[in-house]
Amino acid sequence: MYEIVAFYLFSALTIGLFIITVMSKNVLYAMTSLASAMVLISGFFFILGADFLGVVQLIVYVGAIMALYSFAMMFFDATRDIKEKNTNNALVFLLGGMSALVLVLMFSAPIFSDSIQALYPMHEGAGNAQDVGIVLFTKYLVPFEVAALMLLVAMIAGIILAGKKMDQSLTEDMSADDEIMIVKDEK
Amino acid sequence: METTLVENLPQVTAVGVIIKAVIILAVISAIAGFGTFVERKVLAFMQRRLGPMHVGPYGLLQIAADGIKLFTKEDIIPQNANKLIFMIAPVITAATAFIALSSVPVFPDFIIPEFIPLLGGTFVPSIASDLNIGILFVLGMMAAGLYGPLLAGMSQANKWGIIGAARTAVQFLSYEVVTGLSILAPIMLVGSLSFVDFNNYQAAGIGSWMVWQQPVAFVLFLIAGFAETNRTPFDLLEHEAEVVSGYATEYSGMRWGMFFIGEYANMITISVIAAIVFLGGYDPEATLGWLTIILKIGFFFFLMLWVRAAWPHVRPDQLMWLCWKVLMPLAVVNILITAIVVMV
């Protein structure tokens, strides 16, 4: 009983929040509803008994969207609405059509759900952190390592891009002051 | 929900959990209020002052005076602010702090005596929701709490607020890695993410405490914990001398108060985690077993005040330097060594 109530509550809230994310012109509303919807998705994992995945969803998206916020903070005035430019009608048509297709597939999924069986069902004894670990390091070992390698590449690229003046402090470095002066002169 | 509690304990019922939730809310809010008084007194004595003395005996009623002030002050919402987000932000901080406490053991189990009408015989568990992944849940929820300052700063149309919000993001992205990595090494030793398993692992007395096996992880976790709760030396978000009050600049009355209830609740949560993971936790068998953990929590709480009195705070770039260039490599090396020891 609790599960059903919680499921409908979380579903309604998640869909509502994602609609706000797409529709809202205020960057603060969009980001906040995105973050809360991502947090609420972890609720589904908890209902299904996958506590570990639920917490991972929570931790990963809380951090990821926090980083997104910092970009929003740099580029937009968070208290005002922004003007959107949607000029490419073909793209809108394509994306809309694909979303509709995905929606149809999602709603028809319960028809086939009886024939779907879990390849790696949860064990009664082991906790689900252990289950996730076993699957990750046996069946999905190669994708897992490839993902790790990609993250490493991204990290090195980030360090190289940002690391030119890493040994200097931004507040003590005089060359930074010079750059500011140049910008002022140009104005 | 699957529990790791000992089998012979009575059934955990919904009523018991609700009672537990109410107890946590009431007691921790009260302790948070009392914490402000303790903080002022401890700081005062360390700085050779008296602190609050005028209201009540020894200034004790200062809490009541502050409470009345907070509750009755006008709730001002700035004209250009994003009103909805501005109003929600303090609630996020307070709510996530208490949600985090839901899977931490606070106070022993007990059964309500039979003579009390309606609720007699209800079993009230020590952990409101005993998840198998308790530690991760608490850390994740506390991380979500930082959305409070972030949203507050961004929604209030105030430059100090924006700086506070930017510093929140910087601080969050810096310490989060260290918290996770530092606590990973004890998790590897215990082989579980449940607080109860951590407690059982160290049940053999002071010699078996995790702090002796993982001193580096302990120090790293404490530093990251200070950053997580915005305590000095990492109180960048609201440092008065630099950014007026940072994210809290435009707040008044109870909304401002909620930020600080959340902060003090988070201080208690970090103290509980540190006490259970590193200092042996509680002893469910002995009658005074719960007193020991209260002493440990009290010690960590005092340590936070002590550090505040003794240390200046750091600049944001120093915090990033510390977290990414010093603490994170240390934590990774610690994990590597622990992994080698565990394998061999």
Report yes or no: A79 and B153 within 8 Å, Cβ to Cβ. no
pTM of the model: 0.82
Contact status of B139 with chain A (Cβ, < 8 Å):
yes
In chain A, pLDDT over 70 holds for what percent of residues?
Answer: 81
Contact B144 A67 (CB under 8 A): no
Distances (CA, A) of B286 to B50, B282, B290: 39, 9, 8
Measured in whole angstroms, how far is the alpha carbon of residue A123 from the centre of its chain? 29
Report yes or no: B77 and B83 within 8 Å, Cβ to Cβ. yes
Integer Cα distance of B105 and B196 in angstroms: 8
Give, in degrees to the nearest 5, the angle at Cα B109 between B183 and B35: 60
Contact B133 A70 (CB under 8 A): no
Q: Kindly report the nearest CA distance between residue B290 and chain A, in angstroms.
A: 28
Contact status of A7 with chain B (Cβ, < 8 Å):
no
Q: Kindly report the nearest CA distance between residue A3 and chain B, in angstroms.
A: 11
Chain B residue at shortest CA distance from A52: B133
Q: What is the ipTM of this complex?
A: 0.79
Sorting pLDDT into bands at 50, 70 and 90, what band is A183? low
> What confidence tens digit (pLDDT) does each residue in B266-323 have?
888 888 888 888 887 777 666 666 777 888 888 888 998 888 888 888 888 888 888 8
> What confidence tens digit (pLDDT) does each residue in B210-241 have?
888 888 889 999 988 888 888 878 887 777 77
In chain B, pLDDT over 70 holds for what percent of residues?
Answer: 92
> What confidence tens digit (pLDDT) does each residue in A1-27 have?
778 888 899 999 999 999 998 888 888
pLDDT at B263: 87
Domain residue ranges of chain A, discontinuous segments joined by +: 1-82, 140-187
> What confidence tens digit (pLDDT) does each residue in B134-156 have?
888 888 888 888 888 888 888 88
> What confidence tens digit (pLDDT) does each residue in B65-76 have?
888 888 888 888
pLDDT at B118: 67
- Residue B29: pLDDT over 80: yes
Residue whose entry in the numeric block shows the structure tokens 């988070």: B266
pLDDT at B1: 39
Contact A32 B140 (CB under 8 A): no
Going B133 to B138 to B143 to B148, the CA torsion angle's sign is positive
Average pLDDT over residues B130-136: 80
Of A28, A58, A73, the CB nearest to B85: A28
pLDDT at A145: 93
- Residue A102: pLDDT over 70: yes
Domain residue ranges of chain B, discontinuous segments joined by +: 14-343
Contact B154 A73 (CB under 8 A): yes
User: How high does pLDDT run on average in chain B?
Assistant: 82
Measured in whole angstroms, how far is the alpha carbon of residue A28 from the centre of its chain? 16
A59 chain-B contacts, CB cut-off 8 A: 136, 139-140, 143, 180
Q: Kindly report the nearest CA distance between residue B132 and chain A, in angstroms.
A: 7
Contact status of A128 with chain B (Cβ, < 8 Å):
yes
Sorting pLDDT into bands at 50, 70 and 90, what band is A122? low
Q: Kindly report the nearest CA distance between residue A125 and chain B, in angstroms.
A: 11
What is the 3-class SS of A112-181, one letter each residue? HHHHCCCCCCCCCCCCHHHHHHHHHHHCCHHHHHHHHHHHHHHHHHHHHHHHHHCCCCCCCCHHHHHHHH
- Residue A116: pLDDT over 50: yes
- Residue A164: pLDDT over 80: no
pLDDT at B52: 84
pLDDT at B2: 42
Average pLDDT over residues B169-188: 87
